[in-house]
A and B are shown apart, each in its own frame.
With several copies, the nearest count.
Chain A
């Protein structure tokens, strides 16, 4: 079984990142929070680190449900990062 998760970016974040998604392989055996996933993404790509740091109101969804940054990420999950929503 793969330990991969899909990471999606939306709106201004997607534009800054310059792509719609990343695939990330989780460290085996560890419980990974959203915060830890952000660290992994930042280590993989220093530019991503700078982008996240410029976005203090970053929001996250795990499997299409709004989540908090201490939420647990599991293999196969779809994690989305985006700025505050502006619908309606």
Chain B
């Protein structure tokens, strides 16, 4: 069963890796991705993530199950934080465990690409000068997600 967590708390990368690593003797490779708030040199100070409680968990569960089937994973994990996060703070964790590396690597890329435009999260940026704005959806992200269709 995919491990799906939506939380305002930080996550522990070591613990998450240990869970995937210990799923079964058949695990040969883990692929982990961590997205964090990137300082862009434009005065950005923090991001606030809003989501649609209930739908978020449902979509992430479906996404995880799709990845398990498609890439023959032993399991996967998706953790997404909500609320306000400063520069350098983790936003999202995706992890895939498979018998072989190719499947694990592909599944993690699939999960993060699909999650960006397919799960009900919205980002707002706060700047040092007090400005604040919703982040626009990027066509490149739509293309990356569609490349897995």
| Chain B binds chain A | yes
8 A Cβ contacts from B121-142 to A: 121-124, 134-138, 141-142
Residues of B within 8 A of A64 (CB): 52, 54-55, 58
Q: Count B-side interface residues using an 8 Å CB cutoff.
A: 31
Residue on B nearest A64 in the bound complex, by CB: B55
Please report the number of residue pairs spanning A and B whose Cβ atoms sit closer than 8 angstroms: 76
Enumerate A8-65 residues with CB–CB distance to B below 8 Å: 8, 10-12, 57, 61, 64-65
Most chain B beta carbons < 10 A, residue from A11, A85, A86, A87: A87
Cα of A66 to Cα of B119 in the assembled complex, Å: 9
- B123: min CB distance to chain A, Å: 5
Residues of B with C-beta under 8 A to A76: none
Q: What's the Cα separation between A48 and B33 when bound, in Å?
A: 40
Residue numbers in A under 8 Å from B59 (CB-CB): 66
Using CB atoms and an 8 Å cutoff, list the residues of chain B in contact with chain A: 35, 49-52, 54-55, 58-59, 80, 91-92, 101, 112, 115-124, 134-138, 141-142
Partner of A10 from the list B50, B115, B117, B138 (CB cut-off 8 Å) is B50
Distance in angstroms from B105 CB to nearest chain A CB is 12
A83 interface contact, C-beta 8 A: yes
Closest 3 CB pairs of A and B: A87-B121, A84-B137, A11-B122
Find out whether the CB atom of B55 lies under 8 angstroms from the CB atom of A80: yes
- Across the interface, which residues of A come within 8 angstroms of B55, CB to CB? 61, 64-65, 80
